[in-house]
Amino acid sequence: EFESSEALKRLPQQFFSSLVQKVNALVASGADVINLGQGNPDQPTPLHIVKSLQDAAENPLYHKYPPFSGHHFLKEAIAEFYKREYHVSLDPSTEVAILFGGKTGLVEMSQCLLNPGDTALVPDPGYPDYWSGIAMAGAKMTLMPLLEENGFLPDYTQIDPDRLEQAKLLFLNYPNNPTGAIATPSFFKDTVRLANRHKIAVMHDFAYGAIGFDGKKPMSFLETPGAKDVGIEIYTMSKTYNMAGWRIGFALGNASIIRMINLIQDHFYVSLFGGIQEAAATALLGTQENVKQLVQLYESRRNTLIQGLQQIGWTVDAPQGSFFAWLKVPEGFTSESFSELLLKKAHIAVAPGIGFGTTGNPYVRVGLLDREERLLEAVDRIDRLNLF
Ligand code: PLP
């Protein structure tokens, strides 16, 4: 048996792997589990994107090594997409990096900028992958509570001034996983101001960028004046186009950071299979009808779930975006004891909020990732527990 490096020892265990094991064991025992615990989109990739990969697979050009840091046509496609969707101009040569899913960019950002002992500001609750890169770099985290009364936006005035002085990197994510909150333009303006004042790099995770409800289109951080000077945004094909299994995403914005990310990518991976890059360009530049339908589907599921839960007496708020509902657990429970109860007594899997940080304790995260009949069945099973 070999001993791992110190850097690897610092990598936290995946909190949700034990939940997955419990769910799998229940399913194996024959239970009809409604699994709303994970963040895996349940819809298939639109057919025209799949067809694009099928055609591209026959192109011998793609059978050789791809160019380092990816095909230029895809960088141009993402720049065109940002122009069309967000009126943001990006130079495809210097301000776009192609990633193996958004995840790699989140971890690489810490590898690019943090030295041992440095500090990063991290949302609490937040997507656990932010912690991984910080831990590997030997850096420290300052948690920023996301409170309901602040619309789940961090309150920068509450951060200890010394911690702010030490901070080198700030992680943000809107539409937010797990709270379903959307950022406001004034919050992003404050973020740019803070970043400039304290020389902090911003990493905005826009994984759920396409998913806003009630007619609200989520804003890209790069729409904020000066954003490109202070940071980058991560976009991914996973949620917008149901391409989670294809592992393709992008880092966009500040040219010096994009250069660093590309350096890591070049050394570790070269780049993705060209056919996947071609299919991604097809998705970005082709019809967006599927995206519109997908948002309607999640919104309809959200309405069904939230109204159903309200009708059985659970006081819950509706998410504004993403495909998660963030529900405060009933009095007398913690996020873990409530998730445990739902799994054991109702065969419903949800993610305990504590897995996203300490502020997540009185909440559970419920994915809008099954058919409406199943969501209604979940409401029914919860009703039968007689908690409200
Ligand atoms: N960021 C957030 C907030 C996510 O929820 C996810 C996936 O669940 C990702 C990033 C990573 O997405 P991917 O690596 O599939 O692009």
Quickly list DSSP for 283-314.
HHHS--HHHHHHHHHHHHHHHHHHHHHHHTT-
**Is there an atom of ligand 1 within 6 Å of 102 CB?**
yes
Q: What is the pLDDT of residue 198?
A: 97
The response to whether residue 275 sits with its C-beta less than 6 Å from ligand 1 reads no
| 96 and 184 housed in the same domain | yes
Tokens of 155: 């309150």
Mark whether 223 and 325 lie in a shared domain.
Answer: no
In a domain, 1, yes or no: no
- Domain stop point among 285, 318, 347: 285
Q: Is the ipTM reported for this complex over the cut 0.90?
A: yes
Question: Cβ(212) to ligand 1 under 6 A?
Answer: no
Give the residue whose CA is nearest to atom 5 of ligand 1.
177
Residues 159, 66 share a domain: yes
Residue 168: how many CA atoms within 13 Å on its side-chain side?
15
Please report the pLDDT score of residue 32 as a whole number.
97
Number of domains in the chain: 2
Over its length of 388 residues, how does the chain's per-residue pLDDT go in tens digits?
Answer: 999 999 999 988 777 888 889 999 999 999 999 999 988 999 999 999 999 999 999 999 999 999 999 999 999 999 999 999 999 999 999 999 999 999 999 999 999 999 999 999 999 999 999 999 999 999 999 999 999 999 999 999 999 999 999 999 999 999 999 999 999 999 999 999 999 999 999 999 999 999 999 999 999 999 999 999 999 999 999 999 999 999 999 999 999 999 999 999 999 999 999 999 999 999 999 999 999 999 999 999 999 999 999 999 999 999 999 999 999 999 999 999 999 999 999 999 999 999 999 887 899 999 999 999 999 999 999 999 999 8
Nearest Cα residue to atom 2 of ligand 1: 207
Instruction: Read off the CATH number of the domain in which 70 is found.
Output: 3.40.640.10
> Are 23 and 108 members of one domain?
no
Q: How far is the CA of 103 from the centre of ligand 1 (A)?
A: 6
Whether 133 contacts 107, CB under 8 Å: yes
The answer on 158 and 221 residing in a single domain is: yes
Q: What is the 5 CA–ligand 1 centroid distance (Å)?
A: 26
Query: How far does the centroid of ligand 1 lie from the alpha carbon of residue 161, in Å?
Result: 31
Q: Supply the residue whose CA is at minimum distance from atom 1 of ligand 1.
A: 207
Whether 198 and 342 map to the same domain: the answer is: no
Q: Are residues 278 and 296 in the same domain?
A: no
CATH of the domain at 350: 3.90.1150.10
Same domain, 111 and 205: yes
Identify the domain containing residue 36 by its residue range.
6-44+289-383
Is the CB of residue 113 less than 8 Å from the CB of residue 259? Answer: no
Would you say the CB of residue 101 lies under 6 angstroms from ligand 1? yes
| SS3 state of residue 158 | helix
DSSP per-residue codes, 256-283: HHHHHHHHHHHHHT----HHHHHHHHHH
Which ligand 1 atom is at minimum distance from the Cα of 237?
Answer: 16
Kind plus residue range of the DSSP H or E element containing 143: strand 140-145
Q: Measured in angstroms, how far is the CA atom of residue 265 from the centroid of ligand 1?
A: 18
Residue 30: inside a domain, yes or no? yes
